[in-house]
Amino acid sequence: MTAEVQTADYELLGPELRQEIAKYFPRYPERRAVLLPALHLVQEQLGYIPQQAIAELARFLEIHPAEIADVVSFYSFFRRDRPLGKFRLWVCRSLSCACRGGESLLAYVSQKLGIAPGQTTPDGLFTLEAAECLGACDFAPAIMVNDTLHGPMTFEMVDELLASLRKEAGQSPGV
Amino acid sequence: MTEFEPVLLANKDKDRSWTIQVYEGSGGYATLRHVLKEKSPEEVRKAVDSARLRGRGGAGFLTALKWSFLPKDHPGPFYMCVNADESEPGTFCNRVQLECDPHQVLEGIILSCYATGVQRAYIYLRYEYHLAFKRLTEAIKEAYDKNFLGRNIRGHDFSLDIYVHRGAGAYICGEETGLLSSLEGRRPYPRSKPPYPTVRGLFGKPTIINNVETLACVRHILERGPEWFRSIGTPPPPDDPQDPGSFGPKIFCLSGHVNRPGVYELPLGIPCGEVIERYGGGVWKGRRVKAVVVGGISTGLLSASELETPLDFSGPIRAGCLGLGTGGVVVLDETFPIVEVMYNGCRFFAHESCGQCTPCREGVPYALEVIERIRRGEGRLVDLDTLSEIGQAIGITPGTTICGLADGAAWVIRTCVSKFREELEDHIRRTNPQGYRRRLPPGTIVLPQGAPAGIVTRKVQTQWTIYPNYQLEMINKPTGN
């Protein structure tokens, strides 16, 4: 690959990750355009996008770190402060979901997990997010867990869902 | 229009409908083979032009006209961006199309790229559509394997590469120039037009941006002919030479308080009430309709008396809405408060405003604050005038913002205030009979602005008076919510 793949001073962006990012280069005429796919890869691997990763990515993509911070801070999907939980729960509260109980579903999940939207449980298992339309209005009220869509949800189904997710993570489901 | 045969969703319920075997089994890619062999790009453009296909993404711009804006003597390359960043609340038809029939969309893209001389297309897919992403990537791989994509497609000297580019959860990326900025790896601010993307778009090159559903229609126009396409829908009214008519099938996404939410492919011009009654199975719990969002929340609301409105490109405009939008029909029953609709809509637009233009960045949150106040029972009748003023002032129609997404917020406010003013006034009178300010607890000292900190409750900038130990007092709590 290019010269900067070989330089050793990357702490967070390991060679495999850089390799993965470099796979996107031929798709675009400019390196900068790889930024969004690269950020997805970084967040997938690290759980969030720390400042150090931004600096390293900037070197790799040959743009200024400020430009990356500019982009990262725009999208609600990216997190910069601390790693996300193992499961990221998006509870939709847009109109179609709201009129079928999305708001109370969000309140219920929030109560169940003991965290407010935007927070992560202390055990690092769940991150709760209030979503603005998941595009799943036919499944209203909908919840998305990482990349799986669930709906239409009821309170009982939320209990079951949380229990099965806990089980998946190897915790006792009764918590 | 007696026998309407769905084409866009024809494969939806078939087993493994997303695979190339099923798609080719039902006649897929036959059109592409035929067109590559028999027709010139010019003829394809002519067919789309005479079908008078209009963009399905919201604006309803004539597709062939958009294509014709590409510069003739440009060295290239040209790009195509397929807008699959469907984030409008109430809309999910692109998701269903990409999940159930990705090859249909791909064939439409290939045909359109052939017609316009594009050699590289990007599908901008919203990140939330994980299943669609999976199936679309598989479909692209299958298409490459069969040489429907790649170099010299089917022995013809036309080459095309398609890449999927995933977004990261931002509504603004559905705006065409915002989409371009996002794809280029910049902060997704929309750009001023002109220059239009067809002249200077992605990476500074001429770029065509079309919606998923529009491109899927292209395939069917070429298969069945423009006459077939024009036999569906509503012709232009004779008294309006500006209106190119609304032809073809359209996917309507039905959600909210209906018995059978889902996607329905219907001819344009179908009355809104018929969609709800005949296809959606009526309003749930035997209730009546109070309001209907016509085409995604940004288009505004129809009231119960306007259910006869035909859902085509001009019908909702005549009924005082922004337009057909994306075809996301959200039904609200008689118990759902209009204040909630306004609150929900404005919260969405306040959250998704990119922050580039002041009227949208400041105006929408301000409106949201006013609505919040009405909602918690502290509204004043004059607030409705303020809201309606904001609704008139922001957006691309009054010319105060760069992109049209601010209009979305404006139309929600405008239609709610103009069509449901009575209900809103009732709500304000009921929840805040004293009208003009909060009821102060006895003995409260009203201090001027700039008083010592510590007793400030909230919003020093906008509040003239400060109430120590003030408890929110609800007079006649709102019922039914």
* Number of A–B residue contacts, CB under 8 Å: 134
Reported confidence tier of residue B243, pLDDT bands at 50, 70, 90: confident
Q: Tens digits of per-residue pLDDT, A41-64?
A: 999 999 999 999 999 999 999 999
**3-class DSSP state for residue B12?**
coil
**Does the pLDDT of residue B126 top 90, yes or no?**
yes
Q: What is the residue type of B402?
A: I
| CA proximity to B84, closest of B147, B166, B189, B159 | B166
Question: Domain ends where: B172, B198, B231?
Answer: B231
**Does the pLDDT of residue B217 top 80, yes or no?**
yes
CA of A28: which chain B residue's CA is closest? B184
Residues in A touching B128 (Cβ below 8 Å): 90, 131, 134-135, 144
Whether A27 and chain B come into contact, CB under 8 Å, resolves to: yes
* Same domain, yes or no: B227 and B271: no
- What is the per-residue pLDDT for B465? 32
Residues in A touching B293 (Cβ below 8 Å): 95
CA–CA gap between residue B312 and residue B334 (Å, rounded): 25
CB contact (8 A) between residue A33 and residue B203: yes
Q: Tens digits of per-residue pLDDT, B375-421?
A: 988 888 889 999 999 999 998 888 899 998 889 889 999 999 999 99
- The residue to which tokens 């997938």 are assigned: A44
Instruction: Judge whether B15 lies within some domain.
Output: no
Reported confidence tier of residue B457, pLDDT bands at 50, 70, 90: very low
- What is the per-residue pLDDT for B445? 53
**Does the pLDDT of residue B439 top 70, yes or no?**
no
Whether A40 and chain B come into contact, CB under 8 Å, resolves to: yes
* Same domain, yes or no: B101 and B165: yes
Is B209 within 8 Å of B178 (Cβ atoms)? no
The CA–CA distances, whole Å, from A63 to A66, A68, B299, B384 equal 9, 8, 39, 48
**Does the pLDDT of residue B3 top 70, yes or no?**
yes
CB contact (8 A) between residue A36 and residue B87: no
Whether A99 and chain B come into contact, CB under 8 Å, resolves to: yes
Instruction: Judge whether B449 lies within some domain.
Output: yes
CB contact (8 A) between residue B90 and residue A138: no
- What is the per-residue pLDDT for B454? 39
- Helix axis angle for B212-224 and B93-100, nearest 10°, is 60
Domain range spanning residue B137?
20-231
Q: CATH number of the domain that B213 lies in?
A: 3.40.50.11540
**Does the pLDDT of residue B1 top 70, yes or no?**
no
* Same domain, yes or no: B303 and B450: no
* Same domain, yes or no: B329 and B462: no
CA A93 to chain centre: 18
Q: Which of B126, B165, B330 sits opposite A96 (nearest CB)?
A: B330
How would DSSP label each residue in B158-197?
A: --BEEEEEE--S-GGGGSHHHHHHHHTTS------SSSPT
What SS3 string covers chain A?
CCHHHHCCCCCCCCHHHHHHHHCCHHHCCCHHHHHHHHHHHHHHHHCCCCHHHHHHHHHHHCCCHHHHHHHHCCCCCCCCCCCCCCEEEEEECCHHHHCCCHHHHHHHHHHHHCCCCCCECCCCCEEEEEECCCCCHHHCCCEEECCEEECCCCHHHHHHHHHHHHHHCCCCCCC
Q: Which of B203, B255, B344 sits opposite A140 (nearest CB)?
A: B255
Instruction: Judge whether B307 lies within some domain.
Output: yes
Is B410 within 8 Å of B351 (Cβ atoms)? no
Q: Tens digits of per-residue pLDDT, B65-104?
A: 999 999 999 998 999 999 999 999 999 999 999 999 999 9
Instruction: Judge whether B46 lies within some domain.
Output: yes
- What is the per-residue pLDDT for A135? 92
Q: Tens digits of per-residue pLDDT, A138-152?
A: 998 999 999 999 989
CA–CA gap between residue B256 and residue B332 (Å, rounded): 6
Percent of chain B with pLDDT over 90: 80
Q: Which of A76, A95, A137 sits opposite B169 (nearest CB)?
A: A76
Write out the H or E segment, with its range, that includes residue B250.
Answer: strand B249-256
* Same domain, yes or no: B227 and B121: yes
Whether A132 and chain B come into contact, CB under 8 Å, resolves to: yes
* Same domain, yes or no: B370 and B279: no
Instruction: Judge whether B6 lies within some domain.
Output: no
A residues 58..97 contacting B (CB < 8 A)? 61, 63, 67, 70-71, 74-78, 90, 93-96
* pTM to 2 decimal places: 0.90
Instruction: Judge whether B241 lies within some domain.
Output: no
CA of B166: which chain A residue's CA is closest? A37
Whether B274 and chain A come into contact, CB under 8 Å, resolves to: no
CB contact (8 A) between residue A77 and residue B169: yes
Select the residue from A99, A103, A139, A148 to test the B interface by mutation, using most B Cβ atoms within 10 A: A99
Q: Which of B129, B165, B261 sits opposite A138 (nearest CB)?
A: B261
CA–CA gap between residue B208 and residue B70 (Å, rounded): 8
How far is B84 from chain A, CA to nearest CA, in Å? 11
- What is the per-residue pLDDT for B443? 57
CB contact (8 A) between residue A34 and residue B165: no
Percent of chain A with pLDDT over 70: 94
- What is the per-residue pLDDT for B59? 86
- The residue to which tokens 């430009």 are assigned: A67
Whether B186 and chain A come into contact, CB under 8 Å, resolves to: yes
How far is B198 from chain A, CA to nearest CA, in Å? 18
Q: CATH number of the domain that B270 lies in?
A: 3.10.20.600
* Same domain, yes or no: B142 and B264: no
Reported confidence tier of residue A124, pLDDT bands at 50, 70, 90: very high
Reported confidence tier of residue B346, pLDDT bands at 50, 70, 90: very high
Reported confidence tier of residue B478, pLDDT bands at 50, 70, 90: very low
- What is the per-residue pLDDT for B241? 82
Specify the DSSP class assigned to residue B240.
Answer: -
* Same domain, yes or no: B423 and B295: no
Percent of chain A with pLDDT over 90: 78
Strand order in the sheet with B161-166: B161-166, B120-125, B79-84, B207-211
CB contact (8 A) between residue B87 and residue A135: yes
Q: How many domains does chain B have?
A: 4
Whether B257 and chain A come into contact, CB under 8 Å, resolves to: yes
**Does the pLDDT of residue B437 top 90, yes or no?**
no
- The residue to which tokens 């102060």 are assigned: B440
Structure-token pair, residue B467: 């109430």
B residues 147..166 contacting A (CB < 8 A)? 163, 165-166
**3-class DSSP state for residue B479?**
coil
Question: Domain ends where: B312, B335, B358?
Answer: B335
* Same domain, yes or no: B205 and B350: no
Q: Tens digits of per-residue pLDDT, B179-196?
A: 999 999 999 999 999 999
- What is the per-residue pLDDT for B235? 92
Give Cβ neighbours of residue B1 (< 8 Å, ≥ 6 apart). B232, B267
Q: What is the residue type of B163?
A: Y
- What is the per-residue pLDDT for B480? 37
Whether B75 and chain A come into contact, CB under 8 Å, resolves to: no
Reported confidence tier of residue A10, pLDDT bands at 50, 70, 90: confident
* Same domain, yes or no: B321 and B351: no
What letters, b where the CB count within 10 A reaches 16 and e where it falls short, cover A113-131? bebebeebbeeebbbbbbb
Q: Which of B182, B203, B328 sits opposite A30 (nearest CB)?
A: B203
Instruction: Judge whether B193 lies within some domain.
Output: yes
Question: Domain ends where: B231, B261, B295?
Answer: B231
* Beta pairing, strands A148-150 & A143-145: antiparallel
Reported confidence tier of residue A174, pLDDT bands at 50, 70, 90: low
Residues in B touching A93 (Cβ below 8 Å): 344
CB contact (8 A) between residue A138 and residue B263: yes
What SS3 string covers B385-414?
HHHHHHHHHCCCCCCCCCCCHHHHHHHHHH
* Same domain, yes or no: B199 and B345: no
Kindly report the average pLDDT of chain B as a whole number.
88
For range B253-260, the mean pLDDT:
95
* Same domain, yes or no: B222 and B166: yes
How far is B165 from chain A, CA to nearest CA, in Å? 7
Q: CATH number of the domain that B343 lies in?
A: 1.20.1440.230
Instruction: Judge whether B12 lies within some domain.
Output: no
Residues in B touching A95 (Cβ below 8 Å): 89-90, 256, 293, 297, 330, 341, 344-345, 348
| CA proximity to A95, closest of B376, B308, B300 | B300
